[in-house]
């Protein structure tokens, strides 16, 4: 059944009205329909969504989470909306089940280990406190339970003296704000889209009801990332090696400039970030990010963004100072649209140039990266390559570059065919004419250098138009 025809559970309707009318949410923008019903949803790129973000930043200042409204940080929306939630429990839109907004529910891997260890049959929707109490009632020793939880969470607690509440609270915090993945929340953060700041589907129904969270779509998120990484500039092999190094041991590697916005995949532009912050950041671009990117660019001379987005980055770095959160969102949308257009152009070449399209893309954009794969790198803590030596190839990795090319091409089809995602290109008629000319030259077996020049001209046209478009908003 389509999303817009799903019936809301009566308890969820009551929950919505209780939240809307609660004083904690006073001033948080929400629209009314003509029939008086409230419009709970407001995407971030709408005026209501942007106003909600502004409200949330001001609320963070009011709550003393930040010292100044310019000091936004990854995860700030989740922190604010959890802090002001009156009950810390949310009703599921589908089934009406009430679940904690804290990280109180076992992940699949943690649950499997727990059930195997204690010969139990709990689910991902069982509250961790209930699991603890139930195991105790069934004869499990408290010391054994404490040892299991403390070991899994790598908690700095004594299993003989720590209480149940101390252990659960410490584990919850480590999973919500740190890099542990033992527990998850009853509903994920989703501000400003949802008025209360959390997904409408709780953990109990989300994988079934939310197309974006089905196992199939979760797998395609990884494929999207492949598309961004494989077609971006940068030393991609060094970046992958750095991400797997001891520097990021137990911590997520974050792209300072999101690769989904066209920034390069390179060790110089990676930073450590706790996984809770990483998931909250997504494709956001903050003033701090922009300034960090500029510092690295000035220090290293390595351009931070891929060739097809250079004009947009030049515009941003020359105009970002003293800009509002709204402008930063426009920058993000502008960069994102440009990436969508680029991925569509690749798809167009692959599908409409059956004779030479694939070979052109390989020779023009993938083959130049082959040399990166021939080396093993050593890094300093800033991601700079301090030494490199010829790579020792074994059976497992000798075909790695061929696999890279194959997956890069497959990722273009997967990206453009993905359902349940706004990934439409917005090429105008003049740009479509230019694209048709590029395809014609490719099929006529024109020199690659000539086609690349036309490709650069097309991406310049698109970027100039996008800058003009987003300046007017």
Structure confidence at residue 36 (pLDDT): 78
pLDDT at 153: 94
Claim to verify: residue 316 and residue 277 sit in the same structural domain:
yes
Percent of the chain predicted with pLDDT > 70: 88
In a domain, 291, yes or no: yes
Predicted pLDDT at 344: 95
Residue 301 shares a structural domain with residue 413: yes
Q: What is the pLDDT along the chain (473 residues), one digit of tens a residue?
A: 334 446 789 999 999 999 999 999 999 999 988 887 899 999 988 999 999 999 999 999 999 999 887 888 888 999 999 999 999 999 999 988 899 999 999 999 999 999 999 988 888 999 999 899 888 877 788 899 999 999 999 999 999 999 999 999 999 999 998 889 999 999 999 999 999 999 999 998 876 655 555 554 544 444 455 556 679 999 988 988 887 777 876 566 788 999 999 999 999 999 887 545 555 566 788 899 999 999 999 999 999 999 999 999 999 999 998 888 788 889 999 999 999 999 999 999 999 999 999 999 999 999 999 999 899 999 999 999 999 999 877 544 557 788 788 878 888 988 887 644 455 899 999 999 999 999 999 999 999 999 999 999 999 999 999 999 988 66
> Do the beta carbons of residue 95 and residue 187 sit within 8 Å?
no
Same domain, 289 and 229: yes
Cα separation, 339 vs 282, in Å, equals 15
Check whether residue 436 and residue 358 sit in a common domain. yes
Q: Does 162 share its domain with 223?
A: no
Same-domain status, 163 and 206: no
Residue 242, in any domain of the structure: no
Cβ burial 228-263 (10 Å sphere, 16+ → b, else e): bbbbbbbbbbbbbbbbeeebbeeebbbbbbbbbbbb
Give helix 448-471 / helix 429-443 axis angle, nearest 10°: 170
- Going by C-alpha positions, the residue among 225, 213, 283 that lies closest to residue 411 is 225
Does a structural domain hold residue 259? yes
Residue 22, in any domain of the structure: yes
Looking at residue 473, its pLDDT comes to: 65
Q: How far apart are CA 116 and CA 125, in angstroms?
A: 17
Token couple for 167: 């252990």
Domain limits for position 172:
103-183
Can you tell me the distance from the alpha carbon of 142 to that of 148, in angstroms, rounded to the nearest whole number? 10
Kindly give, in sequence order, each residue whose CB lies less than 8 Å from that of residue 300, ignoring residues fewer than 6 positions away: 268, 384
Cα–Cα distance for residue pair 114/403, rounded to 1 Å:
37
Q: What are phi and psi of 385, to 5 degrees?
A: -75, 115
Q: Is residue 208 part of a domain?
A: yes
Compute CA distances 339 → 46, 224, 319, 425, whole Å: 20, 12, 21, 9
Strand pairing partners for 41?
A: 194
Residue 250 counted as domain residue: no
Structure tokens at 330: 């426009």
Asked whether the beta carbons of 360 and 449 are under 8 A apart, the reply is no
Q: Residues 14, 128: one domain?
A: no
Domain total of the chain: 3
* Residue 245 falls inside a structural domain: no
State whether 165 and 288 are in the same domain.
no
The H or E element that residue 168 is part of is helix 164-177
Same-domain status, 414 and 437: yes
Q: Are residues 107 and 13 in the same domain?
A: no
Largest distance between two CA atoms of the chain: 77
What is the reported pLDDT for 227?
57
The model's pTM is 0.60
Same domain, 260 and 407: yes
Same domain, 365 and 232: yes
Residue 136 counted as domain residue: yes
């Amino acid at each position: 059944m389509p999303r817009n025809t799903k019936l809301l559970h009566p308890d969820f309707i009551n929950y919505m009205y209780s939240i809307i009318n609660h004083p904690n949410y006073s001033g948080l923008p929400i629209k009314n329909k003509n029939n008086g019903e409230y419009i709970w949803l407001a995407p971030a790129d709408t005026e209501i969504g942007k106003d909600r973000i502004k409200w949330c930043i001001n609320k963070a200042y009011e709550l003393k989470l930040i010292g100044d409204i310019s000091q936004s940080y990854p995860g700030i929306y989740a922190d604010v909306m959890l802090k002001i939630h009156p009950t810390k429990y949310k009703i599921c839109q589908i089934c009406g089940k009430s679940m904690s907004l804290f990280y109180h529910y076992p992940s699949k891997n943690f649950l499997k280990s727990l059930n195997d260890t204690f010969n139990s049959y709990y689910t991902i929707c069982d509250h961790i406190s209930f699991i603890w109490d139930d195991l105790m009632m069934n004869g499990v020793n408290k010391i054994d339970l404490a040892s299991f939880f403390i070991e899994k969470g790598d908690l700095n607690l004594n299993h003989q003296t720590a209480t149940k509440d101390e252990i659960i609270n410490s584990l919850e915090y480590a999973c919500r704000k740190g890099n542990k993945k033992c527990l998850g929340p009853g509903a994920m953060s989703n501000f400003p889209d949802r008025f209360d700041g959390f997904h409408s589907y709780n953990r109990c129904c989300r994988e079934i009801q939310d197309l974006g969270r089905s196992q199939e779509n979760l797998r395609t998120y990884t494929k999207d990332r492949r598309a961004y990484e494989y077609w971006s500039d940068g030393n991609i092999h060094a970046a992958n090696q750095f991400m797997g190094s001891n520097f990021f041991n137990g911590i997520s590697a974050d792209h300072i400039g999101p690769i989904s916005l066209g920034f390069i995949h390179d060790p110089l532009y990676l930073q450590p970030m706790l996984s809770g912050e990483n998931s909250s950041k997504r494709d956001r671009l903050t003033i701090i990010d922009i300034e960090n990117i500029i510092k690295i660019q000035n220090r290293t001379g390595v351009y931070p963004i891929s060739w097809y987005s250079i004009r947009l980055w030049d515009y941003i770095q020359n105009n970002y100072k003293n800009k509002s959160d709204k402008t930063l969102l426009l920058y993000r949308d502008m960069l994102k649209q440009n990436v969508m257009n680029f991925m569509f152009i690749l798809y167009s070449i692959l599908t409409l140039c059956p004779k030479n399209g694939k070979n052109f893309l390989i020779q023009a954009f993938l083959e130049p990266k082959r040399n990166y794969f021939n080396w093993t790198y050593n890094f300093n803590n800033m991601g700079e390559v301090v030494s490199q030596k010829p790579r020792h190839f074994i059976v497992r990795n000798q075909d790695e570059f061929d696999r890279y090319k194959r997956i890069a091409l497959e990722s273009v089809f997967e990206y453009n065919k993905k359902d349940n995602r706004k990934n439409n290109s917005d090429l105008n008629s003049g740009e479509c004419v230019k694209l048709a000319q590029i395809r014609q030259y490719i099929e006529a077996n024109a020199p690659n250098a000539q086609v690349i020049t036309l490709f650069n001209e097309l991406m310049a046209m698109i970027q100039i138009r996008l800058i003009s478009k987003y300046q007017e908003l």
